[in-house]
Amino acid sequence: MNNTRCPVVILISGNGSNLQAIMDASHDSAYEVVGVVSNRPEAYGLQRAASAGVPGAVVDHREYPDRESFEQALATTIDTWQPRLLVLAGFMRILTGGFVSRYSGRILNIHPSLLPAYRGTNTHQRVLDAGEREHGVSVHFVTEELDGGPVICQAAVPVTVGDDRDSLARKVATREHSIYPEAVDWFARGRLVMRDNAAFLDGRRLPESGVRLDPATD
């Protein structure tokens, strides 16, 4: 199966625990992680990639005068590996419409909230401040609209008494590491596509909140 596996490039900015989960699950999947790019040279995820024998590269946004030139360098690096799919895994740069359209329908992102609620940053604290009883994570296609592309799947976690930002982040991360590799595998198998600004799984248009994945059904 090795020769026919879907080549995937993963973009990171930091720890890379989702990168790790996706690499770990790749041995039993239809995809292969062929490269990792970080916009931060100190990102721990680069060490994770090296340990797994996956090539890594740094495209440091601070070395470019504007977003367009940064993204041009990013695309040049990505394209050396000729991926079919780009996976954003804690990649903390906003991408322009030009970059997104270059890889249209071929970029996934993971976001720590039950989209469309809580787009943007600092989601765990905002969920706590709002007194929510439920929080979670979404995997979605990337479009020009920030955190606004079609949702593919979600997993929920309960917010319980005594939760703080760190405990919520840990709960969410556990679910992230389960559902993200699964969504990448769906894409790799050709089961998941973006069409008319909607996500389709096995030919069926997914609802606004995507597929709900609970621990028992993962």
Q: What residue ranges bind ligand GAR (CB under 6 A)?
A: 12, 14-18, 89-90, 110-112, 173, 176
Contact (Cβ atoms closer than 8 angstroms) between residue 154 and residue 209 = yes
Cβ nearer to ligand GAR, comparing 14 with 55: 14
Contact (Cβ atoms closer than 8 angstroms) between residue 197 and residue 139 = no
- Known active-site residue 135: no
Q: Which two tokens stand for residue 210?
A: 């995507």
Cβ nearer to ligand GAR, comparing 56 with 112: 112
Cβ nearer to ligand GAR, comparing 71 with 176: 176
Render 114-162 in DSSP notation, one character per residue.
Answer: STTSS-SS-HHHHHHHTT-SEEEEEEEE--SSTT-SPEEEEEEEE--TT
| Crossing angle between the packed helical segments 17-26 and 44-51, to the nearest 10 degrees | 20
- Which among 111, 124, 135, 177 is annotated as catalytic? 111
Tell me the HSE value of 180 on the side-chain side, using a 13 A CA sphere.
Answer: 30
Position closest to ligand GAR via CB: 90
Cβ nearer to ligand GAR, comparing 92 with 202: 92
Cβ nearer to ligand GAR, comparing 19 with 78: 19
| Smallest distance, ligand GAR to C-beta of residue 89, A | 5
Q: Which of 106, 114, 105, 107 is nearest to 91 (CA)?
A: 107
The 8-class DSSP code of residue 62 comes to: G
CA-CA distance, 218 to 216, in Å (whole number)?
A: 6
The partner residues of 200 in beta bridges, in order of sequence, read 193, 205
Catalytic annotation, residues: 111
